[in-house]
């Protein structure tokens, strides 16, 4: 299965450690950060040097390999480092899932850095193939010609492959769909304006940045024929946690009769949670809201909310595009995602 593309690569596992493309500096500057200790990786995840549900899972997995190197012969120290990695950000299940998978192998076979790195590499390869399968499954759902709105960044800067929602867009364009992509800026970190616009434009994909507040306008004007977003965690009933603002897009899409697709690997599905109310929502530093490029835009002392994610109820989701096929409601409402089968 072809999985390569011209998509950018956001991480490199090298003999001296894990190198991460510093996504806080894009698109102005392509600067790499070296992580040689597990706490370097945990900090990079917390500070969003690296971000994106599947990709922070891969980074966390390599962080375990760094922990085995640093704490050779001290399994308890590796366990403590793994706990710091798996809890660096709470919402994306991929992080805990990936770290737990590597640790399960180490507990069986020994706390060797080579084993951890091998398992992290397998995770990355699996995510590359998963992105490709998601892209292929979702491409057929995209308009042959028209506007597609996407939120946040779900591409090669969020995964080890071509992306989830952005992977759907990439594969649809590769198949000849004539798409105009509307990328919401995605305040406050600006994943859309800074990252998605950078990723897609450098590949010649027609992308237009809009403010988050323009989503209703482009839908009302008939400029958008589909919405496709990613996910950080999907509950058993199909409720979806994703970047803040996703829920509003789903409501707008439903009001305008526009299909609202979620693209996510099964590694983002958390069958232990019955519905979206149980998904932990990360609240980040309010200064990320009140400051733009380091400039205070709100009066000093005025508080700001900063939930980094929201939950879209399954009934607003047209379909979830996964690496195991497309899932349609009401299956998502009546059956756990795992047992649901495409109609």
Ligand X SMILES: CSC[C@H]1O[C@H](OP(=O)(O)O)[C@H](O)[C@@H]1O
Interface with ligand X by CB under 6 A: which residues?
Answer: 51-54, 152, 154, 158-159, 164, 191, 229-230, 232, 242-243, 308
Give the Cα separation of 24 and 7 in Å (integer): 18
Min CB(73)–ligand X separation in Å: 34
Dihedrals phi, psi of 99, to nearest 5 degrees: -65, -40
Q: Is 153 one of the annotated binding-site residues?
A: no
Min CB(282)–ligand X separation in Å: 8
Closer CB to ligand X, 164 or 290, in the complex: 164
Min CB(54)–ligand X separation in Å: 5
Q: Is 243 one of the annotated binding-site residues?
A: yes
DSSP state of 268: G
Q: Is 80 one of the annotated binding-site residues?
A: no
Give the Cα separation of 87 and 314 in Å (integer): 26
Centroid of chain to Cα 15: 27
Element (H, E) at 248: helix 246-255
Give the Cα separation of 13 and 5 in Å (integer): 19
Q: Is 291 one of the annotated binding-site residues?
A: no
Q: What three-state secondary structure class fits 249?
A: helix
Burial code (b: 16+ CB inside 10 Å, e: under 16) for 151-166 equals bbbbbbbbbbbbbbbb
Min CB(153)–ligand X separation in Å: 6
Give the Cα separation of 234 and 124 in Å (integer): 20
Closer CB to ligand X, 81 or 158, in the complex: 158
Q: Is 128 one of the annotated binding-site residues?
A: no
Instruction: State the pairing for strand pair 17-21/11-14.
Output: antiparallel
Closer CB to ligand X, 78 or 148, in the complex: 148
Residue nearest to ligand X (CB): 230
Q: Which residues are catalytic?
A: 232
CB 139 within 8 A of CB 172: yes
Give the Cα separation of 57 and 161 in Å (integer): 13
Closer CB to ligand X, 66 or 93, in the complex: 93
Min CB(191)–ligand X separation in Å: 5
Closer CB to ligand X, 53 or 273, in the complex: 53
Give the Cα separation of 196 and 328 in Å (integer): 27
Give the Cα separation of 120 and 102 in Å (integer): 7
* Binding positions: 51-53, 89, 191, 242-243
* Binding positions for substrate: 51-53, 89, 191, 242-243
């Amino acid at each position: 299965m072809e999985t390569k593309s011209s998509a950018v690569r956001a991480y490199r596992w090298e003999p001296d450690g894990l190198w991460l493309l510093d996504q806080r500096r894009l698109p102005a500057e392509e600067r790499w950060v070296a992580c040689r200790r597990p706490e370097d990786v945990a900090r990079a995840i917390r500070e969003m040097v690296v971000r994106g549900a599947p990709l922070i899972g891969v980074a966390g997995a390599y962080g375990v390999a760094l922990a085995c190197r640093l704490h050779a012969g001290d399994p308890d120290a590796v366990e403590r480092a793994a706990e710091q990695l798996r809890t660096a950000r709470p919402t994306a299940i991929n992080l805990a899932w990936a770290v737990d998978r590597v640790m399960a192998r180490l507990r069986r076979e020994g706390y060797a850095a080579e084993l951890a790195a091998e398992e992290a590499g397998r995770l990355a390869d699996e995510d590359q193939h998963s992105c490709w399968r998601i892209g292929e499954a979702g491409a057929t759902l995209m308009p042959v010609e028209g506007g597609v709105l996407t939120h946040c960044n779900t591409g090669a800067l969020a995964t080890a492959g071509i992306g989830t929602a952005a992977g759907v867009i990439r594969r649809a364009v590769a198949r000849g769909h004539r798409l105009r992509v509307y990328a919401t800026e995605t305040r406050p970190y600006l994943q859309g304006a800074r990252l998605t616009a950078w990723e897609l434009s450098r590949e010649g994909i027609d992308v237009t940045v809009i403010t988050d507040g323009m989503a209703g306008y482009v839908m009302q004007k008939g400029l958008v024929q589909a919405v496709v977003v990613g996910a950080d965690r999907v509950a058993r009933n199909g409720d979806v946690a994703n970047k803040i603002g996703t829920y509003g897009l789903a409501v707008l899409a439903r009001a305008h009769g526009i299909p609202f697709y979620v693209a996510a690997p099964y590694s983002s599905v958390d069958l232990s949670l019955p519905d979206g109310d149980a998904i932990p929502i990360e609240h980040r530093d309010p200064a990320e809201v009140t400051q733009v490029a380091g400039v205070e835009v709100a009066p000093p002392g005025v508080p700001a909310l900063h939930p980094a994610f929201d939950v879209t109820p399954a009934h607003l989701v047209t379909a979830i595009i996964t690496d195991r096929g497309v899932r349609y409601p009401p299956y998502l409402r009546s059956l756990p995602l795992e047992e649901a089968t495409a109609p």
